[in-house]
């Protein structure tokens, strides 16, 4: 009986851990992306192609159409699916009448958004508005993190926002402040109205990292770079929400970022990084970098989004040149032709990455203008692909230690094909797993299992193997080996 009880307790513990480990912003999983060369040992006759998000034809989905929003409602913020499994919730902010306002919206389908009357904050004699709270006129940048494992039901949601610290008596220190909530709507101040950490960078994005079991944030940080005091990207991480260390510098503009500065540009023209959204995605980290070319040499210019990648959340690799934006500005005359901003992370649903974003029809210092929130989508894992044309290409992945798992590929063929060959530590093809044994992949699939004749699982060699992708007129985005795969030591690949 004791054994049965112990077993039942173990099962219950495992089940609770599984539930606790799943938060509404979790995008992690077993897929290995080919967005950079981290998982690649060698490649021939393939080129990396970056894919921009496709903006929804119905944009903008949420406009500033209330007196307390003015003309600018935008998304430094968060969008999460509802806990009930249907619908969405959005935390965003506006700038009107020289005041920031923290706002809340809901949607059943992610396209039509409603602004519920929360009854929480007075605006000109009425609480019939969607304002979440008001501490000062300068609190902004609402970052929401779902933490269902917190033992205190009143702390299942965490909120981080920036305050300039110019409003006595309580808010006299600039930095990032925190709150907690049982439902994401009713918020309690954390740490006695003191900052979680002090910082002068007024833009920051914060998330829970399901890969490292920690909170992570990338606040704006300033540094002297090639003769200019520039906005850059900092990094901070903690396991204790109430205590964050000061951020460290992790990304600064390089010379290629200033490539647009020609002899005809303003003498002080240069590029800053206005901010960055970083988040754990599948088995790595993805970042949306807000690139800010300062065209007037002071504080004006457009802002668009490029891709950066990481495998620890701190050290980041830039896109390969020419660094085409992953979220570009809209065409001239569009509502997002001046600036675009991303939330702290996207969503992944139905085989697509869904990115709600804020768009402005003016550049940074060209006046308030108009701002609204739109939606852009991308194929799952589709940030970048390795493509081969009419000449056969090969991609040899770094060694993996597996045990009879299935292999699945996210790929697209252009009237071409993709095959997989398995080689051992000596570089020899494993018997029965050659390219000739492989059934060609010839369609377009997010998750297609590879087979070699009657075999649809990888060999059980007890030793590391290497996956070799062979393709012609095709593109490959990512691959998955079972649900859990252990890579061999990084030093073993040198």
445 within some domain: yes
Domain match, 202 and 344 both: yes
pLDDT at 199: 81
Angle, vertex CA 232, rays to CA 247 and CA 383, nearest 5: 100
Contact 221, 251 (CB under 8 A): no
Domain match, 263 and 134 both: yes
113 within some domain: yes
47 within some domain: no
Domain match, 94 and 151 both: yes
375 within some domain: yes
Domain match, 266 and 208 both: yes
Domain match, 326 and 433 both: no
Which one, of 22, 23, 77, 31, lies nearest residue 379 by Cα? Answer: 31
**Pairwise pLDDT comparison (172 vs 251), residue with the higher score:** 251
φ/ψ of 123, rounded to 5, equals -130, 110
- And the tokens for 129? 């508005």
Contact 453, 459 (CB under 8 A): no
Domain match, 354 and 419 both: no
Interval 162-195: pLDDT, tens = 999 999 988 989 999 999 999 999 999 766 778 9
Q: Is the pLDDT of residue 13 over 60?
A: no
Last residue of a domain, which of 379, 414, 444? Answer: 379
Last residue of a domain, which of 353, 379, 405? Answer: 379
Report the CATH number that the domain containing residue 455 is assigned in CATH: 2.60.290
Query: Which element (helix H / strand E) includes 318?
Result: strand 316-318
- Spatial separation of the C-alpha atoms in residues 304 and 288, rounded to whole Å: 10
- And the tokens for 238? 């903690």
Domain hosting 197: range is: 54-379
Domain match, 326 and 417 both: no
Domain match, 113 and 230 both: yes
Which one, of 156, 138, 131, 154, lies nearest residue 146 by Cα? Answer: 156
Mean pLDDT, residues 341-360: 97
Domain match, 413 and 340 both: no
Last residue of a domain, which of 379, 399, 420? Answer: 379
Domain match, 214 and 313 both: yes
Interval 402-452: pLDDT, tens = 878 999 999 999 899 999 999 998 999 999 999 999 999 999 999 999 999
28 within some domain: no
Domain match, 364 and 400 both: no
430 within some domain: yes
Peptide bond into 322 cis (omega under 30): yes
CB atoms within 10 A of CB 328: 18
CA distances from 33 to 37, 362, 383 (A): 9, 35, 9
Report the CATH number that the domain containing residue 91 is assigned in CATH: 2.115.10.20
Domain match, 370 and 395 both: no
List Cβ neighbours of 367 (8 Å cut-off, separation of 6 or more): none
Terminal Cα-to-Cα distance of the chain (whole angstroms): 53
Burial of 348 (0-12, 13-18, 19+ CB in 10 A): middle
pLDDT at 484: 55
Please tell me the total count of domains within the chain.
2
Which one, of 359, 360, 354, lies nearest residue 374 by Cα? Answer: 359
254 within some domain: yes
10 within some domain: no
Interval 364-413: pLDDT, tens = 998 879 999 999 999 999 999 999 999 999 999 999 998 789 999 999 99
Burial of 245 (0-12, 13-18, 19+ CB in 10 A): exposed
């Amino acid at each position: 009986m004791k054994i049965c009880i112990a077993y039942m307790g173990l099962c219950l513990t495992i089940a609770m851990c599984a539930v606790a480990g799943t938060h509404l912003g979790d995008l992690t999983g077993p897929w290995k992306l080919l967005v950079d060369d981290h998982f690649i040992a060698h490649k021939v006759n393939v080129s990396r192609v970056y894919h921009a998000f496709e903006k929804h034809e119905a944009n903008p989905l949420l406009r500033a159409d209330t007196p307390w929003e003015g003309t600018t409602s935008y998304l430094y913020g968060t969008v999460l699916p509802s806990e009930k499994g249907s619908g969405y919730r959005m935390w965003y902010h506006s700038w009107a009448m020289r005041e920031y306002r923290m706002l809340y919206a809901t949607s059943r389908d992610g396209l039509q958004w409603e602004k519920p009357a929360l009854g929480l904050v007075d605006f000109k004699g009425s609480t019939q508005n969607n304002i979440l709270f008001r501490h000062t006129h300068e609190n902004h940048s609402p970052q929401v993190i779902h933490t269902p494992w917190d033992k205190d039901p009143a702390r299942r949601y965490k909120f981080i926002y920036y305050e300039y610290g110019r409003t006595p008596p309580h808010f006299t220190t600039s930095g990032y402040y925190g709150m907690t909530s049982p439902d994401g709507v009713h918020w309690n101040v954390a740490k006695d109205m003191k900052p979680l950490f002090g910082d002068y960078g007024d833009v920051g994005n914060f998330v829970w990292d399901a890969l490292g079991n920690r909170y992570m944030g990338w606040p704006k940080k300033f540094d002297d770079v090639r003769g200019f005091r520039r906005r850059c990207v900092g990094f901070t991480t903690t396991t204790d929400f109430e205590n964050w260390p000061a951020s460290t510098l992790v990304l600064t503009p390089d010379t290629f970022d200033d490539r647009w500065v020609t002899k005809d540009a303003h003498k002080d023209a240069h590029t800053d990084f206005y901010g960055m959204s970083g988040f754990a995605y599948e088995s790595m980290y993805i970042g949306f970098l807000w690139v800010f070319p300062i065209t007037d040499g002071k504080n004006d210019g457009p802002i668009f989004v490029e891709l950066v990648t990481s495998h620890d959340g701190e050290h980041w690799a830039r896109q390969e040149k020419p660094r085409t934006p992953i979220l570009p500005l809209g065409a001239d005359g569009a509502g997002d032709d001046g600036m675009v901003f991303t939330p702290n992370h996207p969503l992944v649903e139905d085989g697509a990455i869904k990115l709600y974003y804020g768009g402005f029809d003016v550049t940074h210092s060209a006046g308030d203008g108009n701002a609204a929130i739109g939606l852009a989508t991308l194929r799952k894992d589709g940030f970048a692909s390795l493509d081969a044309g009419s000449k056969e290409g090969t991609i040899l992945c770094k060694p993996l230690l597996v045990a009879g798992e299935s292999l699945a590929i996210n790929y697209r063929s252009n009237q071409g094909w993709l095959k997989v060959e398995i080689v051992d530590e000596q570089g020899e093809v494993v018997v029965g797993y050659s390219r000739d044994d492989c059934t060609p992949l010839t369609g377009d699939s997010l998750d297609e299992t590879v087979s070699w004749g009657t075999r649809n699982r990888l060999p059980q060699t007890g030793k590391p193997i290497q996956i070799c992708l062979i393709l012609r007129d095709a593109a490959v985005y990512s691959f998955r080996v079972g649900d859990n795969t252990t890579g061999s030591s990084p030093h073993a690949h040198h």
